[in-house]
Homo-oligomer: A and B are copies of this chain.
Amino acid sequence: MNETRKRVIVENVSPEIDCGRFPARRAIGEKVRVSADIFADGHDFLAADLLYRKTGAPEWNTKPMSLLVNDRWEAFFVVRELGEYEFSIQAWVDRFSTWKNGIEKKSAAGVDISLELKEGTLLVREASFRAKGRDAELLKNKASYFDSEKQMNQNLPFTVDEELTRLMSFYPDKGYKTEYARRLYICVESPLARFSAWYEMFPRSCSREPGRHGNFQDCIDRLPYIADMGFDVLYLPPIHPIGKTNRKGRNNQIIAGPEDPGSPWAIGSGQGGHRSINPELGTLEDFKRLVSEAQKHGIGIALDIAFQCSPDHPYVKENRKWFRLRPDGSMQFAENPPKKYEDIYPFDFETESAKSLWLELLEVFRYWIEQGVRIFRVDNPHTKPLPFWEWLIAEIKKEHPDIIFLSEAFTRPKTMYRLAKGGFTQSYTYFTWRNLKWEIERYFQELTQTVVKEFFWPNLWPTTPDILPEYLQLGGRPAFLIRLTLAATLSTNYGIYGPAFELCASEPKEPFTEDYLNSEKYEIHHWNLDHPGSLKPYITRINRIRRENAALKQNNLIFHPVKNEDIICYSKHSDDHENIIVVVVNLDPHHTHSALLKLPVKKFGLDEQKTFQMHDLISNARYMWHAGENYLELDPKVVPAHIFRIRRHVRSEHDFDYFM
């Protein structure tokens, strides 16, 4: 019963993930809109403050919250530093506003207010004791004025002046304030974590000379090509020595030929393990040169961390306790019964030596961070314990809050989401298999319009070295254009596996599988980057559109109805609605489709009575549209998409020549 006088309830706070167990995720410079249900018994006016600070800062910052509707209150703050912020809410009965409302209504109705004035005097006087300096003086004066005969004898309806209202709001009586039950957290990431275009490439396939194993110098030579297309992350499959025992041959054959280079994911040999470099790629110095040269092109190098070992990995000899031993003393290899993967030993996270295993794996990340790597793509994180990742990422982020972890968890939804909650910055998604309009809409509504958006940042990949979806096997070049456009605009983060993607490699190993024929996982390729059919110009254009439009740096996705199941339409907008992008894609790679499209012009801030320009940033064509239904037609053999920027004021437009 000590709490008897705390009348205000604060509940249903957003963002709050699993009762505050996990932080919400934001990038530097982004807003955190905090809302809550705040109410009390009766009809008194309430007031509430949002409290926030960088975790560990000595003082709270406060922002007054505003009532929206239906007892829902809101305020926001902007996160300006990497790392962790914390926030909470305080709310209290606002006696002064309650009094002000009452006395003004009574006075307007001609009711005697002399007692109310005396009560106001007391409220203002109490506030003056809480105030300091000039404010205290001002409040004292206000209080005596109320009390004076002059006020009493006025015949005008009584209103409280704005200055007093403002002053009183600075010195509320928070004696019985309610504090929200839980402290909540925000994990602040780098801008690149929010907005990035990834390019995946096998270094060993980068040599221009047929037959030669590519190396880091070849990668450096390839940087301008990648930078020109507009990518800002270059992601390399594992660069470590590759095992020889049970090495896989071309097309995943069980027995490798003498020249077969093996899969980069079969990590470790006599030449070293997870902290070593395959000598055929170069030295550590070469690698560090690649990192710094890439940086000059505005490109970050992402390493692939795959926690598994070939039978030749040094760990296998030196740390047998990290693996599962079978009754005959042999080591348990990876399997998916009845299939066996004899080229790989998984770690045994149930080992009694788990602690030393965890610490060693943390050191692997630390090692590459020391070499200048800030971005990691983590292979199959869902086959390692979820608490392990939560611990590891927290340890790294304590020292390096800018590090980006991309989770390659192509697994069940709950696990995918839990990995993101537990710290992964970005995540692979089901986008790779979502081709139809209804399934794209439903999935992206889940990702962008539910609590999922607070912690799960999608990174969309049309293909990976493991996955050549049927849609791309059958749809030809138009299918590649369609999937690229969707990936680059549905999410702020996307990536392609090149040069296979821009060269439209689409032949599967066997029909009805998703494996590439002659996959780069098992052999070295020499791609003809100058192929006339290359998507390079289109990709370059799309990445430029992404960079030049603030709307595409947000995940505030809205789908718009189109009466054609083959045409999808969605829009994104900048926070201030200055930049509005409308994307229309023909999802059928085989046929031309047309549709009538009606946009929510009023929501877009457009005049319903006037025409406006739809500027297609892909073709640079401009169309005059109106509030009604507008005709459009998309031939996938030409370009299967429009990326419109809405342009309002034709005459005064500053950026008439904005694009091309």
Interface on A for B, CB 8 Å cutoff? 1, 3-7, 9, 11-12, 18-21, 37, 39-43, 70-71, 101-103, 105-106, 108-109, 111, 115, 118-119, 122, 176, 181-182, 326-328, 330, 335-338, 340, 349-350, 354-355, 358, 382-388, 391, 412-415, 418
Given A9-B386, A37-B414, A391 and B111 touching (CB < 8 A)?
Answer: no
Contact B43 A336 (CB under 8 A): yes
Q: Distance in Å from the Cβ of A38 to the closest Cβ of chain B?
A: 9
From B7, B118, B386, contact of A7 by CB (8 A) = B386
Contact A70 B412 (CB under 8 A): yes
Contact A1 B358 (CB under 8 A): yes
Residues in B neighbouring A385, C-beta threshold 8 A: 4-5, 7, 40-41
Given A328-B115, A382-B41, A414-B37, A5 and B122 touching (CB < 8 A)?
Answer: no
From B3, B19, B39, B391, contact of A418 by CB (8 A) = B39
Contact A386 B327 (CB under 8 A): no
Given A40-B386, A338-B105, A70 and B413 touching (CB < 8 A)?
Answer: yes
11 contacts between A and B (CB under 8 A): A1-B358, A4-B387, A7-B385, A9-B386, A9-B414, A12-B18, A40-B385, A42-B382, A43-B336, A71-B413, A109-B338
Instruction: Identify 6 new A-B residue pairs, CB closer than 8 A, beyond the known A4-B354, A5-B354, A115-B328.
Output: A5-B385, A6-B387, A7-B350, A37-B414, A40-B386, A115-B330
From B19, B37, B388, B415, contact of A4 by CB (8 A) = B388
Contact B327 A71 (CB under 8 A): no
Residues in B neighbouring A106, C-beta threshold 8 A: 337-338
Residues in B neighbouring A412, C-beta threshold 8 A: 39, 70-71
Contact B418 A9 (CB under 8 A): yes
Smallest CB-CB separation from A409: which chain B residue?
B41
Residues in B neighbouring A111, C-beta threshold 8 A: 338, 340
Residues in B neighbouring A39, C-beta threshold 8 A: 412, 414-415, 418
From B109, B115, B181, B328, contact of A326 by CB (8 A) = B115
Q: Distance in Å from the Cβ of A1 to the closest Cβ of chain B?
A: 6
Q: Distance in Å from the Cβ of A114 to the closest Cβ of chain B?
A: 9
Residues in B neighbouring A182, C-beta threshold 8 A: 19
Residues in B neighbouring A109, C-beta threshold 8 A: 338
Residues in B neighbouring A102, C-beta threshold 8 A: 335, 337
Smallest CB-CB separation from A104: which chain B residue?
B337
Smallest CB-CB separation from A3: which chain B residue?
B387
Residues in B neighbouring A37, C-beta threshold 8 A: 414
> In the complex, A358 Cα to B5 Cα: how many Å?
11
The count of identical subunits is 2
Given A39-B414, A70-B413, A350-B176, A7 and B108 touching (CB < 8 A)?
Answer: no
Smallest CB-CB separation from A178: which chain B residue?
B387
Contact B418 A355 (CB under 8 A): no
Residues in B neighbouring A118, C-beta threshold 8 A: 326-328
Most buried by B among A328, A330, A349, A414: A414
Residues in B neighbouring A336, C-beta threshold 8 A: 43
> In the complex, A181 Cα to B182 Cα: how many Å?
15
> In the complex, A170 Cα to B101 Cα: how many Å?
67
Most buried by B among A3, A119, A349, A387: A387
Contact B7 A349 (CB under 8 A): yes
Contact B7 A387 (CB under 8 A): yes
> In the complex, A327 Cα to B115 Cα: how many Å?
7
> In the complex, A487 Cα to B49 Cα: how many Å?
42
List of 9 A-B pairs having minimum Cβ-Cβ separation, nearest first: A109-B338, A19-B19, A118-B327, A105-B337, A102-B337, A4-B354, A71-B414, A7-B385, A106-B338
Smallest CB-CB separation from A421: which chain B residue?
B11
> In the complex, A64 Cα to B103 Cα: how many Å?
63
Smallest CB-CB separation from A115: which chain B residue?
B326
> In the complex, A176 Cα to B11 Cα: how many Å?
34
Q: Distance in Å from the Cβ of A634 to the closest Cβ of chain B?
A: 35
Residues in B neighbouring A101, C-beta threshold 8 A: 337
> In the complex, A391 Cα to B384 Cα: how many Å?
46
Q: Distance in Å from the Cβ of A124 to the closest Cβ of chain B?
A: 13
Q: Distance in Å from the Cβ of A287 to the closest Cβ of chain B?
A: 30
Smallest CB-CB separation from A107: which chain B residue?
B338
> In the complex, A11 Cα to B181 Cα: how many Å?
20
Contact B108 A338 (CB under 8 A): yes
Contact A327 B391 (CB under 8 A): no
> In the complex, A337 Cα to B104 Cα: how many Å?
9
Residues in B neighbouring A358, C-beta threshold 8 A: 1, 4
> In the complex, A340 Cα to B106 Cα: how many Å?
10
Smallest CB-CB separation from A338: which chain B residue?
B109
Residues in B neighbouring A391, C-beta threshold 8 A: 1
Q: Distance in Å from the Cβ of A519 to the closest Cβ of chain B?
A: 24
From B1, B21, B115, B384, contact of A355 by CB (8 A) = B1
Residues in B neighbouring A414, C-beta threshold 8 A: 9, 11, 37, 39, 70-71
> In the complex, A3 Cα to B119 Cα: how many Å?
59
Contact A386 B41 (CB under 8 A): yes
Residues in B neighbouring A176, C-beta threshold 8 A: 350
Q: Distance in Å from the Cβ of A106 to the closest Cβ of chain B?
A: 5
Residues in B neighbouring A42, C-beta threshold 8 A: 382-383
> In the complex, A181 Cα to B5 Cα: how many Å?
31
Residues in B neighbouring A19, C-beta threshold 8 A: 19-20, 182
Contact B181 A21 (CB under 8 A): yes
